C-alpha cells in the first residue's frame, strides 16, 4: 500500500526534472560531485572564450570604422598625406618659413622672400611645391625634416634664416633630404640692407634656380642606384639632366644623350626625355656640324609640340631648334623671349637670348641677357656663358675684360679650344703678343693642326654686321700671332 505523501513527492520530483530552464534540467541529471565540477569548469571556460570573441569583434569593427571614416575628427591637417600615400615626386619640396634674427624690421621682407622662393620654385619644370599655408605651421620652431617630408608628402625641405649684420642682411639656406634628413646643399647670400627690397625678386629667382639644380643632381645620384627592374622613363631622363648639371663636355653630353634616348624609347611621351634630347642634340652641334644631331633636334621639337605644346620643354625646344638651324634668328629670339616670359626665374631663356643677340651683333643687349643668366645660376657647370661674355667684351673693344673672362674659362677648361683662341686674340689686341703665342702653343699641344680655318668653323655663326666684323677681327688677330 502506497502512501499518498510519497506519490506526491515523486510526482513533484518528476515535474521538476522535466520542467524549468534547460541548464537546471541538465544540472539535475548530473549525479556525482566530479561531473558537476567538470560541467562548471566547462561553463567558465566557454564564458571566457565568448568574451574574447566579443572584444576581438569590437576591435575589428572599430579598426574598420577608422579606415573608412578616419578623415572625421582627426587632428592631422587635411593637407597632410596619409601614411599610405605613394612615394613623393622627385622634385617635390616644401619651403618652410625663413627664420629672422635680430631686429624685427626685416620681418615683412623675410616673409615676402619665403613666399617668392616658393613661387619661383613652382615654375621649375616638373616641380611640386607645397603651398605656404601647409608649410606655415612649421615656422618658428625646430623641426625634423624627415617628419615634415612625411607629413607633407615631399622629397625635399628648404629651410633658411635671415639676420642683420650692420648694414648687411645675410640669408642662409639649406636643402635637406626628406628621406634621410641629410643636408644636400647650403648657401649664404649677403646683400646691402638698403638694397634688399629691390632685390627680393632677383634673390628669390636665383635661390630657386640653385635649389632646382641641386635637386636634379641629388635625384640623379639616387636614381643611379635603382635596380634595373625599377627604372622608369622619367628616372632615365632625370639621370640625364643630372649628368648635364654635373659638368658639360663632349663625354658627359653623350652620356646624357644616351639616357635621354633610352627614356623616350621607354616612353615616347616623356617630355623631360624629349627636352633632354633637344638640348643634348644642340650641344652636339656646338662641337661640330652634324646632320644627324640637327634631325634629332627637329624630331624632339615636333614630338614636344604634339605632346605638350605650351610646356617648358616644348618652348625650350623651339628656341633651340631655331637657334641650332641658324636660319631664322628673329624666330629664335621670339622663342627665347617667350621662355623668359613664361619662366622668368629660369636662366635658360636669358641664356638663349644672349646667344641669339650675339649672332645678331646686338652686343650690349647680349651682355645684359648673359649676365642675367649667370646671376640666376652662378654655379652653372656649363661655362658657355662665361666664354660668350669674353667674346662680347672682345667685340666691344674691352680687351682687358675679355682677357680676364677668357682666362677664367680656360682655367676651368684647360683643353677647350674656344677659350684658348678667344684668350689669345684678346691678349694680342691688348698688346701682349708673346702671351698670346704661349696660349696658342698650349692649345696646339692639345689640338694638333689647329688653324684659323678650324677656329672659324668652331665659332658662332651669325649674320649681324657687327658680329661679322668682330669675328673677322678675331681671326686677323690670331694670324698676327702666328696661327696659320
Tell whether 51 is covered by a domain. no
Region 92-121 average pLDDT = 73
Question: What pLDDT does 376 receive?
Answer: 73
Residue 111 in domain: yes
CATH number for position 174: 3.40.50.10070
Q: How far apart are CA 90 and CA 88, in angstroms?
A: 6
First to last CA, the chain: 155
Q: Phi first, then psi: what are they for 211, rounded to 5°?
A: -65, -40
Helix, strand or coil, per DSSP, at residue 92: strand
Let me know if residue 43 belongs to a domain: no
Which stretches of 131-270 are DSSP H helices?
132-136, 145-152, 196-224, 233-245, 250-266
Q: How many CB atoms lie within 10 A of CB 331?
A: 16
In the block, residue with C-alpha cell 639676420: 163
pLDDT tens for residues 4-25? 444 444 444 444 444 555 445 5
Cα distance between residue 302 and residue 296, in whole Å: 10
User: Is the CA virtual torsion 371, 376, 378, 380 positive or negative?
Assistant: negative
Tell whether the model's pLDDT for residue 456 goes beyond 50. Answer: yes
HSE toward the beta carbon, residue 260, CA cutoff 13 A:
25
Q: Work out whether strand 99-100 and strand 156-165 pair parallel, antiparallel, or are unpaired.
A: parallel
CA pair distance 127, 154, nearest whole angstrom: 11
How far is residue 12's CA from residue 109's CA, in Å, rounded to a whole number?
Answer: 100
What are the tens digits of pLDDT across the range 412-445?
Answer: 878 778 888 999 999 999 999 999 999 999 888 8
Residue 340 lies in a domain: no
Task: Spell out the residues 6+ positions from residue 306 whose beta carbon is closer than 8 angstroms to its own.
Answer: none
- CA 426 to CA 390: how far, in whole Å? 9
Closest CA to 243 of 263, 228, 231, 258: 258
Residue 390 lies in a domain: no
Of 287, 294, 283, give the one whose Cα is nearest residue 243. 283
What is the number of domains present in the chain? 1
pLDDT of residue 392: 95
Residue 50 has pLDDT above 70, yes or no: no
Residue 194's domain comprises 92-224
Whether 151 is in a domain gets the answer yes
Q: Which residues pair with 162 in a beta bridge?
A: 100, 171
Report how far Cα 266 is from the mean position of its chain's Cα atoms.
21
Confidence (pLDDT) at 228: 61
User: Is the pLDDT at 469 greater than 60, yes or no?
Assistant: yes
Least confident of 14-28, 198-212, 357-371, 399-413: 14-28
Residue 83 falls within a domain, yes or no? no
Report the SS3 class of residue 366.
helix
Closest CA to 449 of 413, 414, 484, 415: 484
Task: Work out the mean pLDDT of the chain and round it to a whole number.
Answer: 76
Contacts of 199 (CB under 8 A, 6+ apart): 191
| Secondary structure (3-state) at 346 | coil
Which pLDDT score, from 0 to 100, does residue 394 have? 95
Q: pLDDT band at 77, cuts 50/70/90?
A: very low
How do beta strands 168-177 and 183-192 pair? Answer: antiparallel
Helix (H), strand (E) counts: the chain: 21, 6
Burial class of residue 428 (count of CB atoms within 10 Å of its CB; 0-12, 13-18, 19+): buried
Please state which of the ranges 51-55, 210-214, 381-385 shows the lowest mean pLDDT: 51-55
Q: Mean pLDDT, to the nearest integer, of 456-463?
A: 76
Q: Is residue 473, in this structure, part of any structural domain at all? A: no
Residue 305's region, left for phi above 0, alpha for psi from -120 to 50, else beta, is: alpha
- Give the three-class secondary structure for 97: coil
For residue 128, the surrounding DSSP H or E stretch is strand 128-129
Amino acid at each position: 500500500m502506497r502512501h499518498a505523501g510519497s506519490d506526491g513527492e515523486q510526482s513533484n520530483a518528476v515535474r521538476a526534472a522535466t520542467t524549468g530552464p534547460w541548464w537546471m534540467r541538465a544540472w539535475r541529471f548530473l549525479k556525482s560531485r566530479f561531473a558537476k565540477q567538470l560541467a562548471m569548469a566547462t561553463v567558465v571556460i566557454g564564458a571566457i572564450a565568448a568574451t574574447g570573441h566579443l572584444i576581438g569583434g569590437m576591435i575589428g569593427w572599430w579598426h574598420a570604422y577608422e579606415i573608412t571614416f578616419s578623415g572625421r575628427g582627426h587632428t592631422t591637417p587635411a593637407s597632410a598625406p596619409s601614411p599610405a600615400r605613394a612615394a613623393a615626386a622627385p622634385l617635390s619640396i616644401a619651403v618652410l618659413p625663413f627664420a629672422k634674427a635680430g631686429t624685427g624690421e626685416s620681418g615683412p621682407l623675410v616673409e615676402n622672400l619665403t613666399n617668392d622662393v616658393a613661387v619661383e620654385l613652382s615654375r621649375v619644370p616638373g616641380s611640386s611645391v607645397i603651398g605656404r599655408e601647409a608649410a606655415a605651421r612649421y615656422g618658428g620652431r625646430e623641426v625634423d625634416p624627415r617628419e615634415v617630408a612625411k607629413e607633407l608628402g615631399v622629397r625635399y625641405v628648404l629651410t633658411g634664416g635671415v639676420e642683420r649684420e650692420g648694414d648687411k642682411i645675410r640669408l642662409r639656406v639649406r636643402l635637406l633630404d626628406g628621406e634621410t634628413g641629410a643636408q644636400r646643399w647650403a648657401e649664404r647670400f649677403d646683400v646691402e640692407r638698403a638694397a634688399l627690397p629691390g632685390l627680393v625678386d632677383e634673390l628669390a629667382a636665383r635661390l630657386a634656380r640653385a635649389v632646382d639644380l641641386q635637386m636634379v643632381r641629388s635625384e640623379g645620384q639616387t636614381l643611379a642606384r635603382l635596380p634595373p627592374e625599377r627604372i622608369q622613363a622619367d628616372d632615365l631622363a632625370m639621370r640625364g639632366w643630372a649628368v648635364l648639371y654635373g659638368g658639360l663636355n663632349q663625354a658627359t653630353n653623350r652620356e646624357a644623350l644616351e639616357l635621354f634616348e633610352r627614356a623616350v624609347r621607354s616612353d615616347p611621351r616623356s617630355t623631360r626625355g624629349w627636352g633632354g634630347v633637344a638640348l643634348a642634340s644642340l650641344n652636339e652641334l656646338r662641337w661640330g656640324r652634324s646632320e644627324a644631331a640637327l634631325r634629332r633636334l627637329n624630331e624632339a621639337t615636333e614630338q614636344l609640340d604634339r605632346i605638350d605644346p605650351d610646356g617648358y620643354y616644348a618652348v625650350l625646344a623651339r628656341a633651340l631648334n631655331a637657334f641650332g638651324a641658324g636660319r631664322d634668328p628673329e624666330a629664335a629670339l621670339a622663342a627665347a623671349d617667350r621662355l623668359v616670359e613664361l619662366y622668368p626665374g629660369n636662366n635658360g631663356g636669358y641664356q638663349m637670348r644672349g646667344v641669339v643677340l650675339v649672332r645678331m651683333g646686338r652686343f650690349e643687349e647680349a651682355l645684359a641677357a648673359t649676365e642675367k643668366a649667370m646671376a640666376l645660376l652662378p654655379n652653372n657647370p656649363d661655362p658657355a656663358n662665361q666664354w660668350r661674355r669674353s667674346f662680347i667684351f672682345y667685340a666691344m673693344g674691352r680687351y682687358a675684360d675679355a682677357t680676364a673672362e677668357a682666362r677664367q674659362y680656360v682655367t676651368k677648361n684647360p683643353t677647350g679650344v674656344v677659350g684658348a683662341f678667344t684668350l689669345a686674340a684678346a691678349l694680342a689686341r691688348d698688346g701682349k703678343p708673346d702671351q698670346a703665342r704661349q696660349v696658342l702653343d698650349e692649345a696646339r699641344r692639345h689640338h694638333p693642326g689647329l688653324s684659323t680655318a678650324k677656329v672659324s668653323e668652331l665659332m658662332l655663326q651669325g649674320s649681324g654686321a657687327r658680329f661679322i666684323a668682330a669675328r673677322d677681327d678675331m681671326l686677323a688677330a690670331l694670324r698676327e700671332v702666328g696661327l696659320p
